[in-house]
Amino acid sequence: MRRSVANRLTPYMFLAPAAVIMAIALLYPLGYMIWGSFRDWNPSQTIGEAEFVGLKNYVTLWNDPNFHESLGVTLKFAFFVVSFEMVIGVGLALLLDRDIRGMSVLRTLFILPMMIAPVVVGLMWRYMYHPTVGTFNRFLEDIGLPSVDWLGQHALMSIIIADIWQWTPFIFILSLAALQSLPSSALEAARIDGATGWQQIVHIKLPLMMPVLIVTALLRLIDAFKVLEVILVMTQGGPGLSTEILALRISRTATEFRELGVAAAMSNYLLMLLLLLTVAMFAFNRLQEIRAARTRAAAEEGV
Amino acid sequence: MPKIRLENLIKRYGNVEVLHGIDLEMADNEFTVLVGPSGCGKSTTLRMIAGLEDVSEGEIYVDEKPISHLEPKDRDLAMVFQDYALYPHMNVAQNISFALRLAKRPKSEIESKVRDVAATVGLTEFLDRKPGALSGGQRQRVAMARALAKDSSMFLFDEPLSNLDAKLRGQMRAELALMSQRVQKNMIYVTHDQIEAMTLADRIVVMHGGYIQQQGTPKELFQRPVNKFVAGFLGMPPMNFLEGVIEERSNGVYVKGDGFDLRLEPEKAAGAKSHSSKEVTLGIRPSDLKYDPDVAAEDALQLDIMVSEYIGAQSVLLCQCGSAKVMVELNSDVPVSFGQSLTFAVNTNGVHLFDRQSEVAL
Ligand SMILES: Nc1ncnc2c1ncn2[C@@H]1O[C@H](COP(=O)(O)OP(=O)(O)OP(=O)(O)O)[C@@H](O)[C@H]1O
Ligand SMILES: [Mg+2]
């Protein structure tokens, strides 16, 4: 009797340390942030001294055009970045999914950008985008074209390009893995059925990769909402508010404007947005499972 | 419909040669079965005909036109895969009609074709289901229907029944035989199951180790196997092999071994006498051994029963003849007991002799 209780408790005992660390490292700051977002809180005060203001911070943000601007930039950034990365990443995977000598080297090369620290990526691109000595403008000059004001007039486009460069490999490797796990005989059957290479992609490969692609896109989307370092290094949000994504605005609100409560409220808005995406992702997975279970059940009864 | 001819077909993977020159001719509307043990190159041969594997050397001719440079889709063939290879994201109707839709046939034609084919294989009520929601046998039918819908002139099958249970396999085998009579196409069928091969084939091609061992009608191969491998591969229960020596005596030619001394019938005797080596392997099918206590010793095998397997009207007995094991069939009504010694008459026309070294039939 005692023994069986102990047996049942064993897994929880093993889980306990991880649970404690989770609580301290994750839930505590999260709770702190939510708690702080209801207060008018200056960095020089402890949270206890700060005045409780209820939903004021949230309401202020809701009506703040700068916040809207920042949110807009974030959404635009995330949308373009993920769209382009999906198209390029999946396209590359479809192109490179074949047995050619040297392909493994090529694949490794493609993955390199993902392995570089974000700050280094930011510095690198800032240098390349430099109006006079930067790689791009020097190149444009050399071939006799007018130079481009990369980080000024076209700042948003420039940071989008840099992000695409850095994160396309992520989509690429996941798509490649999905492609290589496709049932090869279904593709052979399609070849015999008369599908051209392009038709195989449209009718067989893409539909079968879709579950992986959707999850990949959602992961990238969640990540794109949180980018900070690269943009901080490249533009610091400027010029004006043109590249001030939410993560950057949050950090500035906390440090420059010294309004911890507002920053916390903003973080919570972002958190809710991400939560929505995550829930969407889980719901999608769950839906797939349910559908799989249902078809399995139907198969069993239909033997 | 077309004539298919394989000429000195060779396949190499890197430095490893897995097919060593396959020469094969298949006549119009012939049902050809490639049969052989696992790894002998059946699938590779079939996939080369389909265009899914490159030909390393040699050529494939269809109506005397070389086709080995053509894409699979340009070869006018349909194929049924061992794992069915259905498109998991399409329902049954879409699976069946995929080739027709790619060929941009008119919608009404596609619909009627799908309905016809589905009715033929008994899938009408499942047209809306995805393959994941079908049983193994139903999936197999979808694969068959998809091949039928294409109206190609050649059908290729790669072990289409091997994933089914024994009963369903028997049923599908019969349906397949019916279908092949009805559609009148060239069929090439790969299997490692010799019963499938015997029942379905117009022509059997026995392969082993990347070589064709023998080809011909099922009857030819069963009655006159050219070597010990073919003899042992076809027939169930398999042929018994006993080692013996040819002895010429005044009253005839005998083959003598551990526990037996058989007289050969005149035709066999002539062949055995002219052969250089006297060391032979004697092959006798269980069906050529009849229980008969009164037969003369020189026409019989004396067998000690080791195991009796009851399988209904017939029992299969595993017996000992000298140091060799021999399988025989016996009416289950005959009472037998372990260790008992029984006399079996040998059908002298059913005696096969093979050179012990080369294993070629004498
Ligand atoms: N891609 C490959 N690379 C190297 N060797 C291969 C490859 N595919 C097949 N082989 C070899 O070729 C030989 C023939 O294979 P094949 O698939 O034709 O056998 P099979 O007769 O169809 O056997 P089974 O009855 O098991 O399906 C085998 O020895 C196998 O190891
Ligand atoms: Mg095979």
Q: Tell the CATH topology of B240-355.
A: OB fold (Dihydrolipoamide Acetyltransferase, E2P) (2.40.50)
- Concatenating the DSSP letter of every residue in A135-167 gives HHHHHHHHTT-----TTTTTHHHHHHHHHHHHH
**Has residue B95 got a pLDDT over 90?**
yes
What single-letter amino acid sits at B74?
A: D
Distance CA A129, CA A139 (A): 11
Q: Which helix (H) or strand (E) holds A34?
A: helix A28-36
- For the residues B109-134, what does the mean pLDDT come to? 91
Rounded to 5 degrees, what are φ and ψ at A284? -65, -45
Identify whether the C-beta of residue B345 lies closer than 8 Å to the C-beta of residue B290.
yes
Give first-to-last CA distance, chain A, whole Å.
44
Farthest-apart Cα atoms in chain A, separation: 86
Q: Which residues have C-beta within 8 Å of that of residue A229, sequence separation ≥ 6?
A: A118, A119, A122
Q: What's residue A300's pLDDT?
A: 60
Rounded to 5 degrees, what are φ and ψ at B277? -85, 145
- For the residues B217-225, what does the mean pLDDT come to? 94
What single-letter amino acid sits at B306?
A: M
The list of chain A residues with pLDDT below 50 reads: 303
pTM: 0.82
Mean pLDDT of the residues in chain B: 91
B216 forms bridges with which residues in the sheet?
Answer: B204
* Nearest partner of B143 among A173, A15, B162, B153, judged by Cα: B162
Identify whether the C-beta of residue B26 lies closer than 8 Å to the C-beta of residue B203.
yes
Identify whether the C-beta of residue A247 lies closer than 8 Å to the C-beta of residue A118.
no
Distance CA A9, CA A56 (A): 45
Q: What's residue A201's pLDDT?
A: 94
**Has residue B355 got a pLDDT over 50?**
yes
Q: How much distance in Å is there from the Cα of A220 to the middle of ligand 1?
A: 41
Number of other residues whose CB lies within 10 A of the CB of residue A290: 10
* Nearest partner of B145 among A302, A189, A184, A200, judged by Cα: A189
Identify whether the C-beta of residue B143 lies closer than 8 Å to the C-beta of residue B176.
no
Question: Looking at the partner chain, which of B73, B87, B146 has a beta carbon nearest the beta carbon of A191?
Answer: B73
Q: Is B39 a pocket residue for ligand 1 (Cβ < 6 Å)? A: yes
Interface test with B, best of A192, A289, A295 (most B CBs within 10 A): A192
Q: Tell the CATH topology of A67-302.
A: MetI-like fold (1.10.3720)
Chain A within 8 Å of B266 (Cβ-Cβ)? no
Which residue minimizes the CA distance to atom 28 of ligand 1? B39
Which residue minimizes the CA distance to atom 17 of ligand 1? B43
Identify whether the C-beta of residue A136 lies closer than 8 Å to the C-beta of residue A129.
yes
B88–A193 C-beta distance less than 8 A: no
Identify whether the C-beta of residue A164 lies closer than 8 Å to the C-beta of residue A125.
no
Question: Looking at the partner chain, which of A189, A196, A302 has a beta carbon nearest the beta carbon of B81?
Answer: A189
Q: Indicate the pLDDT class of residue B188, thresholds 50, 70 and 90.
A: very high
Q: Is B42 a pocket residue for ligand 1 (Cβ < 6 Å)? A: yes
Interface test with B, best of A193, A291, A295 (most B CBs within 10 A): A193
- How many residues belong to chain A? 303
A192–B79 C-beta distance less than 8 A: yes
The angle subtended at Cα A26 by Cα A24 and Cα A30, nearest 5°, is 110
Q: Nearest CA to CA, how far is A174 from chain B (Å)?
A: 20
**Has residue B174 got a pLDDT over 70?**
yes
Distance CA B322, CA B340 (A): 14
Distance CA A234, CA A231 (A): 5
Q: Taking the domains of chain B in order of start, what are their residue ranges?
A: 4-233, 240-355
CATH architecture of the domain B4-233 equals: 3-Layer(aba) Sandwich (3.40)
Q: Nearest CA to CA, how far is B78 from chain A (Å)?
A: 7
- For the residues B220-229, what does the mean pLDDT come to? 94
Residues of A in Cβ contact (< 8 Å) with B76: none
Q: What's residue A80's pLDDT?
A: 96
**Has residue B45 got a pLDDT over 90?**
yes
Residues of A in Cβ contact (< 8 Å) with B160: none
Identify whether the C-beta of residue A173 lies closer than 8 Å to the C-beta of residue A111.
yes
Q: What's residue A303's pLDDT?
A: 45
- Between B80 and A149, the more confident residue is B80
Burial track B213-231 (b if 16+ CB lie within 10 A, e otherwise): bbbbebeebbeebbbbbbb
Say which DSSP state B13 is in: E
Taking CA–CA distances from A198, the nearest residue in chain B reads: B102
Q: Is B38 exposed, middle or buried (0-12, 13-18, 19+ CB in 10 A)?
A: exposed
- For the residues B212-228, what does the mean pLDDT come to? 94
Q: pLDDT, tens digit, for every residue of A136-151?
A: 888 988 888 888 888 8
A195–B73 C-beta distance less than 8 A: yes
Q: pLDDT, tens digit, for every residue of A210-227?
A: 889 988 998 899 889 888
The answer to whether ipTM exceeds 0.95 is no
Task: Tell me what percent of the residues of chain B surpass a pLDDT of 90.
Answer: 63
Q: How many CA atoms lie within 13 A of A7 on its CB side?
A: 4
- H runs (alpha helix) in chain B: 42-50, 92-102, 107-121, 136-149, 166-183, 194-200, 218-223, 228-233, 266-274
Distance CA B303, CA B321 (A): 5
- Concatenating the DSSP letter of every residue in B187-253 gives EEEEES-HHHHHHH-SEEEEEETTEEEEEE-HHHHHHS-SBHHHHHHSSSSPPEEEEEEEEEETTEE
